[in-house]
Each structure stands twice: as structure tokens, then as C-alpha cells.
Structure 1
């Protein structure tokens, strides 16, 4: 006879886990299994009989979430690019090739003029937007959503860029930039972050929430 724990584990991960596990309790009772075992199994059912509690925490599901996050990142980078072009039209600011030379250094390639690194610039521009967006999707999955999460994510994206650009020696710490450039960069990264966050929050609205959902907000 299979071990009782094996039945419970199967029931927990099956799409109809609660029904199967409940059926198992009835069988245990009818078979006159000890009261202690039946009580433990009953508590297990009560513990898992909550919305989302029987969901399988598999890497397949997490991987799918991250793929959706990557798609949101592509959209976010596209929005960032559009806001960049609009801002450059009015400010006259030239294109930045910091992403291109960052990828150049990461790959250990020799320095080339900006005109020879246009493809690198686009590739790294999207990579630096897609990778953090995967994490933003996971935030949404765990119920970390809304404008506060988006603002926090914009700082995460800024940090991701600065680690790569300063570690490779291409960039400089943002507090050393001219103030107007700091405002411009924060504006574009915020547009990116809120775009990505809007999509991931819509796709994964707290499927695996963490924390106490009954707690009140600051102004409640």
C-alpha cells in the first residue's frame, strides 16, 4: 500500500487536489485508520483549501512568468525609445552609445567608433530592459504590484544599468552627471518601469501573494 504522504503530495499538486485529498480522508476514516493520522490529514486539507494554495510552485510556471516579463520588457524599452526620441527632438541631445560600449567591454572586444557599434547599441539597449523586466513579472506574481512597486522597479532598473556600465568602466556614477541629465534619465526609466509594471500587473495580479492582504494602507 502506498505511503499516505505520497497520496497527500499527489493531491496537493493535482489540478483537483482538494477533491482527491478529501476523498482520501473519507477512505482513511472508513478503513479505521488511527484517529491521529486522520486528524493530521484533515488539517492538511484545511491548510491547503485556500485560493492559490494548491498551485504548483514549479519552475515551469516561474519560467513562463519570466518569459512574459521579457515580453513586457520589450514593450517597455520601445516606449523608452519613443520618449527618448521625443525628448531629443526638443533638447537636441545626441544619442548615447554607452550601452554599445558596455556590451563591447563585456564581450572583451576592442573599442570601436560609435558609428561601428549601432547594432551593439540596440542589442544592449534591449537586454538592459528585458532582464530586469523578468524580475518585475515575478514581483507581480507575488502580489508586489501598483505604483509603489513600479517606482521601486525604476530604481532597480537604474541600478542594473549602473552596475554594468560602471563595472565595465564605460559609465560614471549618476550623481556625477549634470543635474538636467539626471532628471532626463529618471524620467525615461520611470516611463519604462510603469509600462512594464502595468503589463505584468495585468498578467499576474498577485497569483502567489505574500504578506497579510487584510492589513490597511497608511491612509486607511
Structure 2
């Protein structure tokens, strides 16, 4: 329930935005499927914003995701011939896994833009874990500032798209009350 500060003191009362269903609208298995689907769509939107940003900034593509997959799966020769395929497999695979995490958050009632902000941290941590264990990246705070902004910006778009879809489809919450 929101807390409103009034001249006579704090006041708590429910409003339309704070009244959300106390239980999910779907069973857990369906929530997982929603998370996988939302993760794919989020990764697609993230990839699209990435390509648009590259068009505007002339920044070259990063092949860290593809190298990470090649290292973990022992696909060095495949990576040498098809780096873009492994890059996309990484983006969409991690997007799907992250989507399941966000659907789980919605399922247990951790919802809204703040939950998506927390999910952004989870998504960055997921990438960092696989990249660090493959030896293909370094800690994000050691990256150039512009690369930090770019990575967080694109993953932030992913987190918002996935979060909105999961909250809407799993919990039945519309962040904007457009109904």
C-alpha cells in the first residue's frame, strides 16, 4: 500500500495501482513458459536497440558473447567461421534463462519496475558469471565508462520488456493501468 505524507501525518490507503492479485494467474509451468517467451522477445528487442545504437554511434559489434560460448562448449573452429551465430545463441539463450528468473519473480509477487531494476542486476550477473569463467571478460567496473553505459542501457531495455510481459501475463498487473 502506498504511504502518502499529508499535513496531519502519513496516511496509508489502497489505490487501484497497489491492489494486485495476491496469487499468480497461471500455474508455475505456464509461468516458466511465459518467462521463456518473454526472454526471447526481450532479447530480440535488446538486439534491435543494440543494432540501432551501433548504426548511430558506429560502434563495432562485441564478440565476447560468442567467444564465451565457444570457450565453454569447445567450439573454437565453429566460432572462427560463424561468430555471429554464437553471439545470437548467447544473447537469446541467456535472454530465455533470464526470462524464467523474471517470471519466477512475478510468480512470487516481486513485481513492477523496481523488480525489473533488480532483474537487470541478475541479468548482468548471469553474463558476467559465464564470461568470467570462460576468461573472455573482466569485471564490468573495469570497462571503459561508455561500454558500461551501453551494456547497462541495452540490458535495461531487456529487463523492462521482460518484466512488463511477465508481470502482465503471470501476475495480471499492468504497470500503467491502461485498462
TM-score bucket (shorter structure): 0.7 to 0.9
Aligned residue runs from structure 1 range 1-220, under 5 A: 61-110=27-76, 115-205=81-171
Higher-RCO chain (CA-CA 8 Å, sequence separation at least 6): 2
Cα root mean square deviation, aligned:
2.3
Aligned-partner Cα distance in 2 for 1:161–1:121: 12
Aligned-partner Cα distance in 2 for 1:111–1:176: 29
TM superposition score normalised by structure 1: 0.64
1:136 offset after TM fit, Å?
Answer: 0.3
Query: Kindly tell me: are residues 113 and 200 of structure 1, through their superposed partners in 2, closer, same or farther at Cα, counting changes over 3 Å?
Result: closer
Unpaired segments of 5 or more residues in structure 2? 1-21, 174-179
Greater fraction strand: 2
Query: Kindly tell me: are residues 162 and 87 of structure 1, through their superposed partners in 2, closer, same or farther at Cα, counting changes over 3 Å?
Result: same
Retained in 2: the 8 A contact 1:101–1:111? no
Q: When the two structures are aligned, how many residues end up with a matched partner? A: 152
Retained in 2: the 8 A contact 1:140–1:204? yes
Q: Based on CA coordinates, which of the two structures has the bigger radius of gyration?
A: 1
TM superposition score normalised by structure 2: 0.78
| Secondary structure of the corresponding residue to residue 204 of structure 1 | helix
Unpaired segments of 5 or more residues in structure 1? 1-50, 208-220
